[in-house]
Structure 1
């Protein structure tokens, strides 16, 4: 059995071996650092909302979804006031974690004209079971896979959840967020009209 080559064993074999082992370690460290930076850059890119497709906001207002109880939820009925649109799923832990905060935001701000709509990218039966355990005051639409396409058109190219889009009262996209919403986000957004 051969022992691994270390700096001390390398120097006893050949005087230049120590430099070779050191260079090799530096090369490996450099490759590892480059891979880490590249991976972090890719992760950052994936978590950034990308450009909204032309006409996507207008297309949203023409959409309609069914609610978990079978009613029709026409997005055009939310035009004219600020709207927080949240894409979520029951199998998404950060989505589930932020829903009570979004519900509180809705309760506290609906009198000042704010609206919140949740679009569930999920199976209708799963959403119904979930809402039986955690009822929400704001409307929820069953968007299914079509909701993923809508999210992509609004800049969520990776289809990650949660994804939140804030519309101003005139129907323009004002803010977007990939990932879990924070109280600071809601505070910033609530100043919008």
Structure 2
């Protein structure tokens, strides 16, 4: 009897040990995370902190701390989701290291995966001690940039690089006519520039050689799972993009109108009483779009502070599918995540040609996001293509200033 009891106790202790193993603790703190891309290691930071039965996780890119969805331990793996972008990091802890994959939904039943690793307590980006950059040239400033061009001088500017170099560390982004490349961070190592960013959907890796003789950059840009473009840039303090107010406009003789459903099925139209005699901001967006996310981070609290002044906002979401049963929950998730109090409707699919057909009064939809400003009489007075997010520094500040100045002007009109 004693022998049987001893065996039973031993089994219980073994089971207790095994169950304890399934709730492996994750070391709290900062990790240097790496995606294994076709262009090489793409580093970014992760800050992981326990929060009860879940973990609070931030992706770190330069000055950005992007909050991911609550992470959970399932079995022996940590799952860090970003539901808006239908992606997640999944990794098993092994001492100071997390090893696993980044997986992102491609179709209803297909996922793309990429190897992922994160090392606890490591905080550098590309090089632990990158040393002094070659020569004395700083990359701080504006760079006229062309993607898709491997050699030769830059003839047509389709982006503007804006960099800030402190020692060998570099932060910045690329401005384009349709938006920015969000927060980029990296290093200058010798005569080479390295920049990266990961935000749950974008995985950006930039490499370039600096030619000090003519102050140019030439290299490669890897994005996502398969994307690649060569790029060249030249230092140009006067580099500029086309006027964002000139790309999308109302066709002559057309009146802008729409009628699309919210996820609950309620139709929303610009003729609804809530918009009558109000200044209205119309946000053309997608839940899959990080630049739209940046605009929403600004617009949602702005609306809460200003709606009592006679301002309304409505979002027209163009999603990967026009099926409400699939896209409706994504819209609701976005509204919940950013505390959106204004209506967001499903307007169609995110193909720009299809979006243009859905809004025939516009000459075309060039970018997500695009923002329309409608006066109290229901007339579109201004259209801004793209969005310069907070990763662009002073360009974001300028946008906010111009946004408020335009709203004040429209509100002052009788």
TM-score (norm 1): 0.69
- 1:111 maps to what in 2? 308
Indicate conservation of the 8 Å contact 1:121/1:148, yes or no.
Answer: no
- 1:6 maps to what in 2? none
Tell me by how many angstroms 1:71 deviates.
1.5
- State how 1:7-46 maps to structure 2 within 5 Å: 32-33=152-153, 36-40=154-158, 44-45=241-242
Encode CA deviations 1:55-108: one digit per residue, 9 max, x unaligned.
44x241xx2111122222122012422111010111111100111211122112
Rounded to whole Å, the distance in 2 between the matches of 1:131 and 1:141 is 11
Indicate conservation of the 8 Å contact 1:83/1:166, yes or no.
Answer: yes
TM-score (norm 2): 0.34
Rounded to whole Å, the distance in 2 between the matches of 1:151 and 1:84 is 15
SS of residue matched to 1:120: strand
1:187 and 2:404 matched: yes
Rounded to whole Å, the distance in 2 between the matches of 1:150 and 1:139 is 18
The one of the two structures with greater contact order (alpha-carbon pairs below 8 A, sep at least 6) is: 1
SS of residue matched to 1:98: helix
Rounded to whole Å, the distance in 2 between the matches of 1:46 and 1:91 is 25
How many residue pairs get aligned? The number is: 157
- Unpaired runs of at least 5, structure 1: 1-30
Hey, which of these two has a bigger chunk of helix by percent? 1
Rounded to whole Å, the distance in 1 between the matches of 2:287 and 2:305 is 24
Question: For the structure 1 residues 143 and 68, does the alpha-carbon distance in structure 2 shift closer, same or farther, using more than 3 Å as the test?
Answer: same
Select the residue among 357, 371, 394 that pairs with 1:149: 357
- 1:162 maps to what in 2? 369
Indicate conservation of the 8 Å contact 2:261/2:267, yes or no.
Answer: yes
Indicate conservation of the 8 Å contact 1:163/1:177, yes or no.
Answer: yes
Tell me by how many angstroms 1:131 deviates.
2.5
Rounded to whole Å, the distance in 1 between the matches of 2:355 and 2:310 is 25
Rounded to whole Å, the distance in 2 between the matches of 1:94 and 1:105 is 17
- 1:67 maps to what in 2? 262
- Unpaired runs of at least 5, structure 2: 1-150, 160-175, 178-240, 320-326, 389-398
Hey, which of these two has a bigger chunk of strand by percent? 2
Select the residue among 378, 382, 385 that pairs with 1:178: 385
Question: For the structure 1 residues 183 and 45, does the alpha-carbon distance in structure 2 shift closer, same or farther, using more than 3 Å as the test?
Answer: closer
